[in-house]
Amino acid sequence: MIATEKIMIEKTKNSRLGEVDFNHLPFGSIMSDHMLVSDYIDGEWGSSSIIPFGNIAMSPTMLALHYGQIVFEGMKAFKMKDGSISIFRVEKHYDRFCKSMERMCIPAMSFDHFNEALKTLIKLDAAWVPGTEGSSLYIRPFVFASEERFGVKVAEEYKFIIFSGPVGPYYSNPLKVKVEDKYRRAARGGTGSAKCAGNYGGAFYPSSLARKEGFDQVLWTDGSADLNIEESGTMNVMFMINDVFVTPPLSDSILDGVTRDSFITIAKDMGIKIEERKIGAPELISAHEKGILQEAFGTGTAAVVAPIQVINIKGKDYTLPTVKDSNVALKIKQRLLDIRLGNAPDKNNWNTIIKP
């Protein structure tokens, strides 16, 4: 063990780095060598340890397994042109993590605890950050109720873990999506704006039904008569109508996407008009009929920008103009990448730079 100021580090003796084909990276199945762990016990977060990535022991009564107190983040790190590593929007991810934890009654963690843990881990596994086009290091901080007890209660013990893994592109083709008019992802007053595990588990069933019908994803709605659109699969969603980007406004049923926020900031900077307002199925149909529904796409950390080619509403397909490199969404995606890689100025201080 090596002790940094606060974090104990046990380095792996068997690095798996040499086994990875960085030119063919799948999403979500390759893990870097190390992970960081810290525990909340006796009313406080204890110091963190970095250990070789591996299984953790748990009791079958661990409260998270029964009552779902689990929240997570999805973040990314990039290899910059000078070889440094940039971690994208640490503060914004931390803020959302805190909000999710509060909604799920999980005790708060200081920014220093989160940030030092993240930076120390990523520096140690810097060689895992891919430099190949379209790839990045996906970082998964998460926290769960680790107390051993099956009585229903807010847990008094928690475990915080961060691991990472190199990933390639999430989607390779434009999507065919269906406006979901039976199932809902989130309700007003519910947990939709928290990044809690249950939101994803609950979405699996409707998504798998849609996949059987030939769709890649569903467009979630608020369940009203107008089928106001909320999100797309695990992403936020935007439409370009008559040269204006329209995206549903944040609410307690919509996740405050970091990519969504970055996208809006860049679009405004590029002089593109953005409206954050309700947009329902009737408006999408009418815009399509008038020929002014120019682009639709999801935004998320994993997918970054995922163009939508076909929207199915009540059984009818509405096909959008063929996705081309000249799409405004793809230009914004490129600007975002340029900022992350150090090819464009980081005017908003989004990058946390790590020198390996």
| Count of other CB atoms within 10 angstroms of residue 324 | 9
Distance (Å, rounded) from C-alpha 38 to C-alpha 144?
11
Mark out the alpha helices in 185-341 (DSSP H runs). 197-212, 258-269, 281-290, 328-341
Closest contact distance (angstroms) between CB of 73 and ligand COI is 8
Q: How many residues of this chain bind ligand COI (CB under 6 A)?
A: 6
Closest to ligand COI by CB, 138 or 215: 138
Burial bucket for residue 314 (CB in 10 Å: 0-12, 13-18, 19+):
exposed
Nearest Cα residue to 329 out of 302, 308, 348, 344? 308
Handedness of CA 172, 173, 176, 179 (dihedral sign): positive
Closest contact distance (angstroms) between CB of 340 and ligand COI is 15
Counting other chains too, the contacts that 282-286 makes at CB distance below 8 Å and 24 or more residues apart are 282/226, 283/241, 284/179, 284/229, 284/239, 284/311, 284/313, 284/318, 285/313, 285/318
Distance (Å, rounded) from C-alpha 186 to C-alpha 46?
34
x-or-dash pattern for ligand COI, window 273-302, by CB under 6 A?
Answer: ---------------------------xxx
Footprint on residues 226-255 left by ligand COI (CB under 6 A): 234
Closest to ligand COI by CB, 223 or 300: 300
Are residues 14 and 54 in contact, defined by beta-carbon separation less than 8 angstroms? no
Are residues 130 and 79 in contact, defined by beta-carbon separation less than 8 angstroms? yes
Closest contact distance (angstroms) between CB of 291 and ligand COI is 32
Closest contact distance (angstroms) between CB of 171 and ligand COI is 11
Closest to ligand COI by CB, 28 or 282: 28
CB nearest ligand COI: which residue?
Answer: 74
| Count of other CB atoms within 10 angstroms of residue 134 | 13
Footprint on residues 167-206 left by ligand COI (CB under 6 A): 200
What do you get for the CA distance between the two ends of the chain, in Å? 20
Closest contact distance (angstroms) between CB of 94 and ligand COI is 15
252: left (phi over 0), alpha (psi -120 to 50) or beta: alpha
| Count of other CB atoms within 10 angstroms of residue 294 | 18
Closest contact distance (angstroms) between CB of 60 and ligand COI is 25
Closest contact distance (angstroms) between CB of 352 and ligand COI is 17
Are residues 94 and 115 in contact, defined by beta-carbon separation less than 8 angstroms? yes
Are residues 144 and 64 in contact, defined by beta-carbon separation less than 8 angstroms? yes
Closest to ligand COI by CB, 232 or 301: 301
Q: Does 266 bind ligand COI (CB under 6 A)?
A: no
x-or-dash pattern for ligand COI, window 205-224, by CB under 6 A?
Answer: --------------------
Q: Does 74 bind ligand COI (CB under 6 A)?
A: yes
Closest to ligand COI by CB, 227 or 305: 305
Closest to ligand COI by CB, 288 or 333: 333
How many residues are given for the chain?
356
x-or-dash pattern for ligand COI, window 125-164, by CB under 6 A?
Answer: ----------------------------------------
Closest to ligand COI by CB, 140 or 278: 140
Closest to ligand COI by CB, 174 or 298: 298
Closest to ligand COI by CB, 272 or 302: 302
* Calculated CA dihedral for residues 97, 279, 262, 24, nearest 10 degrees: 80
Where do contacts with ligand COI occur on this chain (CB under 6 A)? 74, 200, 234, 300-302
